[in-house]
Chains A and B, each alone.
Chain A
């Protein structure tokens, strides 16, 4: 039965990936389970979004997930990566995204979450990750995405947030983590998405950045994140979503990229890895499936390149049912 399903999906082992996601955290004595403990909220977001893209979110017990998510919230309004962990903006966005997947944003005290996120904006417009003050354009995206989902963008200084991001723009058209930091596809996604969500894409030199992004495609069809680095499935998401937001996705060879992602599947036990024949993990499984969704692979729900949520979820947030 599984075989015929694989055939039907034309190469994507969807059933296997679903099984992989549903059992991933149950493995005993696994080093990965230890290092995952503190970022379980992000793990939940990667796994659950993948299930949703594969139209299998209904296999999960909503109430259990929601009650666990809410146990990770702190008095400050921010969420920790797991129960008993300190709040951080990273896990606050993951928590909001997970609740959005299940149409459960109504369980949130929106003002409380908003106050937490808005409170992390600095004088120069940048955002810190938590009270300890690490600054990174990743956090600018997270803050903007989170508040946009909650319809509370008006609670931060958007103009300053945008000008900080623009100050991180480099000579190649890309963006780094702080002003002067090297362009990196992951940071570029964060900056392009943040500019997109605030209606500020005019700050981007789309042709220059688009060319840099399409130069990331290597002979195997995969994408790297910086010049002269190895390709990695996660960049299927970071590079592709950026190209879509600046309307330049047709500049890469889509067929070759699809083939590269499919080559990174574990056809036996499910899951997707960074490169062919490497060990799979949830992170790369999510980015592989999300990348295929952006490439309009049949049988997958469409994903929104800026919110990193299925398009129907985003539509529900902004246009009601």
Chain B
């Protein structure tokens, strides 16, 4: 859109442009003797002085729209300019598809900016369900550069809830997790989909297939915090099923048997024991083997042994594990 004409390099000062000759710029008022004086670049000062003039005059015209584009190119965080731009857009009855293109250009370099996302949502909301595909594509593009982009995920969740487009979302999560199994945002989105998608049957119906998926992910990288928390989340509100599901305790033992990257496996085993899991002989043997290979004194109480080991293998959180130990019910 118009913003491309005003590249900073060949910028013609506003005071030399005939279409602005009737406007008197309004300078910034920092108070008489500013405590925190800011020195700005002259092009920025001039643009803002003209912006202030049209803002005060409440001029909702196409040149005002162009000027907001220029001001935004200097500082995309200036929310007042964005606000005024929306008022102008409303007044001019402009095709909002063009506005999405305008945001695309700005967003590529300024995607961490709250205003852009808020503006984008305002436009998408006005366009309605027709915008769903375009919005999902847009966030996909941002996420392809930064797969944990908080604003992009937040926008994407809003699009799904408000405009729909759930069909491919679980596949999309799988794709992202294939690229990076450590991506906590993608795990969070996966949980969002299985608990909220109107096309799926809800958490309990999804549990079996999700548990298998998660177990595989954990076995590939047992040091990955996200799937361990996801696994626990699959049994939300149903701790008994979690304790009784052999897949969970078996998973812990399989990881512990490898004797490497086992902190989350061991802490999960600890949680299971605290919630009443009766340890098998195999579990006792596996933990004993870890004790043998370390400097830890064997203890007859399995949960206590687990805490001892955790305290030693995860020393930065030693206080946490000591606290867990102090909270254990007395051994029988």
Which residues of chain A have a CB within 8 Å of any CB of chain B? Answer: 25-30, 33-40, 43-44, 47, 60-61, 64-65, 67-68, 71, 80-81, 83-86, 88, 130, 132, 134, 170-172, 176-178, 180-184, 210-212, 214-215, 217, 219, 221, 226-229, 250-253, 256
Contact = CB atoms under 8 A, between A and B. Distances in A.
Contacts of B38: 25-26, 33, 36-37, 40
A86 B31 contact: no
Given A67-B31, A71-B29, A182 B153 contact: yes
A268 B274 CA distance: 52
Contact of B31 (A44, A47, A64, A183): A64
B80 A251 contact: no
B174 interface: no
Nearest to A86: B80
A132 B80 CA distance: 11
A34 B40 contact: yes
A34 B184 contact: no
Nearest to B78: A38
A183 B154 CA distance: 11
A252 B122 CA distance: 42
B261 to A, nearest CB: 14
A64 B320 contact: no
B9 interface: no
A83 B226 contact: no
A32 B196 CA distance: 41
A212 B184 CA distance: 13
B141 interface: no
A89 to B, nearest CB: 12
A132 B86 contact: yes
Interface stretch (B228-236, B283-291, B292-300): B228-236
A222 B321 CA distance: 19
Nearest to A60: B35
A84 B317 contact: no
B33 A64 contact: yes
B118 A132 contact: yes
B157 interface: yes
A253 B316 contact: yes
Nearest to A173: B229
B236 A171 contact: yes
A182 B184 CA distance: 8
Interface residues on B, range: 35 or more
B114 A71 contact: no
Given A215-B317, A228-B182, A228-B183, A171 B37 contact: no
A251 B118 CA distance: 37
Contacts of A61: 35
A178 to B, nearest CB: 7
Contact of A171 (B75, B233, B320): B233
B25 interface: no
B158 interface: yes
B316 A181 contact: no
Given A184-B150, A219-B316, A227-B182, A38 B31 contact: no
B114 A84 contact: no
Given A68-B31, A83-B28, A227-B226, A256 B157 contact: no
A83 B30 CA distance: 7
B39 A85 contact: no
27 contacts: A33-B40, A37-B48, A37-B75, A61-B35, A65-B35, A68-B30, A68-B31, A68-B35, A130-B79, A132-B86, A170-B188, A171-B229, A171-B230, A172-B229, A176-B188, A177-B150, A182-B153, A214-B320, A215-B225, A219-B316, A227-B184, A227-B225, A228-B182, A229-B148, A251-B319, A252-B319, A253-B319
Contact of A256 (B35, B226, B233, B316): B316
B274 to A, nearest CB: 10
Given A33-B40, A86-B79, A228-B183, 15 more contacts: A25-B37, A64-B34, A68-B34, A83-B28, A83-B31, A85-B79, A132-B83, A171-B230, A177-B150, A178-B154, A214-B320, A215-B317, A219-B316, A251-B317, A253-B317
Which 10 pairs of residues, A with B, have the shortest CB-CB distance?
A171-B233, A182-B188, A251-B320, A227-B184, A86-B80, A25-B36, A85-B80, A38-B78, A180-B192, A228-B182
A292 to B, nearest CB: 19
Nearest to A181: B154
A252 B317 contact: yes
A212 B320 CA distance: 11
B74 interface: yes
Given A83-B31, A227-B225, A40 B157 contact: no
Nearest to A88: B79
B28 A84 contact: yes
